[in-house]
Amino acid sequence: MKRIYGNHDLVWRGNNLCQDRRVLASIVPDARYPDMWRVRVDRKLSDLVNISRARDAARSLAMFRLNGGMQETPPGAPPMHQTAEGLASHHGEQF
Domain holding 51, by residue range, is: 7-66
The answer as to whether 15 is a domain residue is: yes
- CB–CB of 59/67 below 8 Å? no
Half-sphere exposure of 34 (CA within 13 A, CB side): 0
The answer as to whether 40 is a domain residue is: yes
The answer as to whether 21 is a domain residue is: yes
The answer as to whether 52 is a domain residue is: yes
Q: What is the pLDDT along the chain (95 residues), one digit of tens a residue?
A: 678 889 899 999 999 999 999 999 999 999 999 999 999 999 999 999 999 999 999 999 999 999 987 555 566 666 555 555 554 544 554 43
Per-residue pLDDT, 89: 46
The answer as to whether 95 is a domain residue is: no
Give Cα 17 to chain centroid, integer Å.
Answer: 11
The answer as to whether 32 is a domain residue is: yes
**How many distinct structural domains can be found in the chain?**
1
The answer as to whether 20 is a domain residue is: yes
